[in-house]
Amino acid sequence: MNAPLRILGLDPGLRRTGWGVIAVEGARLTHIAHGVITPKDSLPFAERLLVLFEAIAQVVEAHAPHEAAVEETFMNNNAASALKLGHARAMAMIVPARAGLPVAEYAATVVKKSVVGTGAAEKDQVGFMIARLLPTAGKTTADAADALAVAIAHAHHRKLRRIGAAA
């Protein structure tokens, strides 16, 4: 019998990066841990990125995930904000990749559809479903719930991604 697969989900942001780790065994999902990384706004930009890098590295070291999944950037009209978010997203992708983990990316609509059933779900609906799907997670912030949702989306789509790659 194989050990459960651990998936790290990341919802990147420069102010708040949510993370969540789940275990997958067949169709069963189990909550392992979750949290939010919050670099101080007063830090210089490069130091905020360093805080993200180091904190994500600590999560990877502490929970030893086998795979990682990151939510894709939602494009907004402010190019400067989008670029800064892209830097935070890079930290969320580089750290697991540096640790040797495969890293998948999912659009927010795919994540929401995987957890709620519709890609247009609101944040409170995602939080509600995380509480139902992972009852041992307890109360989660929106950022942590989103990260757990990314991990769940990956759990649902990873086999399809592998089959598509083989075709």
What are the catalytic residues?
A: 11, 71, 143
- 3-state SS, the chain, equals CCCCEEEEEEECCCCCEEEEEEEEECCEEEEEEEEEECCCCCCCHHHHHHHHHHHHHHHHHHHCCCEEEEECCCCCCCHHHHHHHHHHHHHHHHHHHHCCCCEEEECHHHHHHHHCCCCCCCHHHHHHHHHHHCHHHCCCCHHHHHHHHHHHHHHHHHHHHHHHHHC
